[in-house]
Structure 1
């Protein structure tokens, strides 16, 4: 690993307090900026060869997330290659589940595996607790603290957590991904909602604490990833997706009113505008299926909210004219209001680095039309 990582990026003066003129923070405050800020979900990750070197040195994903030296390094890596407007602290969604008492492992071909799976109300009371939450998550807070001093002065620092429903799917299914179609967690939530509620309450409280500590450590904005919101049927979407996220945002705003919150309810479809209005999120992350014209009208203009998104990650893999054309279409479609350019989901591990360079350069060259 390069021991001179800090010299390569000019340090941020002070203690990481919010600097209002940062482009990302201006967009999150509802401003229509001269060009959209850009960052990319999973921008620190497997498509970068230097990432693999650090992950190997860390002994795997768990070590990478829980060793601040390594987590800081991989967070900074994409900023050395691309002039991105934000860094997002390197961690992983199941870290909260592990901090609550499950054992977390990463297996080749399977991703995160959590044991024992939570399958009943008795399991919740038997082995899950917030008593060691901050002790277990302390390395992530330290990573945020170090990043708040290491980032360029113009680069915003984003903290994050999984939303309660998405973390619950990991905890109940015992693993990530969609291989099981989330049948176990959905059946529990449908057949015994009152028995499932304590798990969601526990997670909601833990996530409020987790994000609050990241803000105290220097995060200037936070994002809630509800990656599996789209598997919920309409009848359960409000209870298990909207209400927990609204509770978290309300609690954060009461304590940190100037810290913006991005919420990403992937797969929410026609529920996106209702989600944006009910949760109070400052910005809503759009997945790749959301029509641009609809998002501009319903979320930017009618609700007055910032939107983030929504390039298909596979277009970033494909590159060429199709990538350039769709990037241009997104820029034209969403630059009429507050807007952050991003992907509709995370970067694929097969993404060519020069394709990322091309998109970042195209966004930087864009000039938002005057009203």
Structure 2
């Protein structure tokens, strides 16, 4: 593998000095880019795009050809693990993901197993190694997975949900059954992320998209507990370099200290908290990634630049900040507004690292 030419992102995750704040965007390869839409049409379906290593590589690299980003993130989906468990994943027009065989009974849950990372999920590892080779050391590659709780919400509900009625009923009435699901998922995520690291991922992120719908008690028991298990089971160093881990719970601002206790290297922040307050709370225990409201990208380039400046100033001097959005970029965003955002980070952040 080629030597890394830009390790700013990895250094910041480990709170080492950098010349400027590194920047990447969640969903940076996606529908807001016309070139992505063209490749997606060529692939035929979303999962066909994920399963084609050349096309997955192509869309991963597309934003890097436009913008001076400091990391690439594997193009895939958080639902690859439940798909590999045979739950019948499909993407319905206008509905998002749907599982034809949701987990509703003990018999359903007893059939769950940790997928084979070679035969069941080998296409993901093929994509990782293809992307890593194509990057040729330009920037690091991020691997990722959904958190056990977030994956379980889709597997039990049968798709997206606004109320989480079915999984919360299971959580309250049949907690043992839900813990059984979460245990299998935690073991699966450990194997999955470690396989991505061995295939070439240089950092990993756990997306806990739906942890924020839980009470503090239930978040600790049904989400954070399993993410801590994953962090504990991850490969910490590979190929002579540390492999940092980022935890991101959307809506998780009240639990930053408990998240830092897991041993993760960095915490992702959504836009519902002030980054200076988050930094004061966690101190030097973890790096912080975030946290501009993605909707700011609907505004003018001048307003975007102002918002970037205010977040940089709030974080202040020193390392340990990776600039990102507080969640994924919206599909309707103009590519030139994303460019204004990234350019602002590149131009305004060096003063905080002198």
TM-score by length of 1: 0.90
Aligned to 1:213: 195
Residues 25-47 of structure 1: per-residue CA shift (max 9 Å, x gap): 11011124221100000000000
Of 283, 307, 311, the match for 2:292: 311
Report if aligned partners of 1:308, 1:340 keep a CA contact under 8 Å in 2.
Answer: yes
Maintained 8 Å contact 1:157/1:219: yes
Alignment root-mean-square deviation, CA:
1.8
Give the structure 1 partner of residue 48 of structure 2.
Answer: 63
Matches within 5 A, 1:250-265: 250-253=232-235, 258-265=242-249
Offset of residue 192 of structure 1: 1.5
Say which of 331, 341, 345 aligns to 1:349. 331
CA contact (8 A) 1:47 1:350 kept: yes
Q: Which residue in the other structure is 1:286 paired with? A: 269
Residue 197 (structure 1) aligned with residue 208 (structure 2): no
Q: Structure 1 residue aligned with 2:123, among 122, 126, 139?
A: 139
User: How far apart are 1:321 and its partner, in Å?
Assistant: 3.6
**Secondary structure of 1:222's partner?**
strand
Match of 1:109 in 2: 94
Q: Secondary structure at the match of 1:309?
A: strand
Q: 2:308 aligns with which of 312, 327, 332?
A: 327
Range moving further from structure 2, 341-350 or 109-118: 109-118
Structure 2 distance, partners of 1:285, 1:91, is: 19
Contact 2:125 2:199 in 1 (8 A): yes
Q: Tell which deviates more after alignment, 43-52 or 253-262.
A: 253-262
Aligned residue for 1:359? 341
Aligned equivalents of 1:112 and 1:370: distance in 2?
43
Q: Assess, with a 3 A threshold, how the Cα gap between structure 1 residues 154 and 163 changes in structure 2: closer, same or farther.
A: same
Which secondary structure state, in structure 2, belongs to the residue aligned with residue 101 of structure 1? coil
State the partner residue of 1:45.
Answer: 30
1:223 is aligned to 2:223: no
Q: Partners of 1:214 and 1:159 in 2: how far apart? A: 6
TM-score normalised by L of structure 2: 0.94
> Kindly tell me: are residues 247 and 16 of structure 1, through their superposed partners in 2, closer, same or farther at Cα, counting changes over 3 Å?
farther
What whole-Å deviation, never above 9, does each CA across 1:69-99 have from its counterpart, x for those lacking one? 1111110111111110000000011111101
Q: Is 1:159 equivalent to 2:140 in the alignment?
A: no
Equivalent-residue separation in structure 2 for 1:62 and 1:209 (angstroms): 21
Which 5+ residue runs of structure 1 have no aligned equivalent? 1-14
Structure 2 CA distance, aligned partners of 1:198 and 1:259?
29
Helix, strand or coil at the partner of 2:56: helix
Among 235, 240, 247, the residue aligned to 2:217: 235
- Superposed displacement of residue 154, structure 1: 3.5
Name the SS of the counterpart of 1:119 in structure 2: coil
Matched with 2:134 is 150
Cα offset for 1:16?
5.6
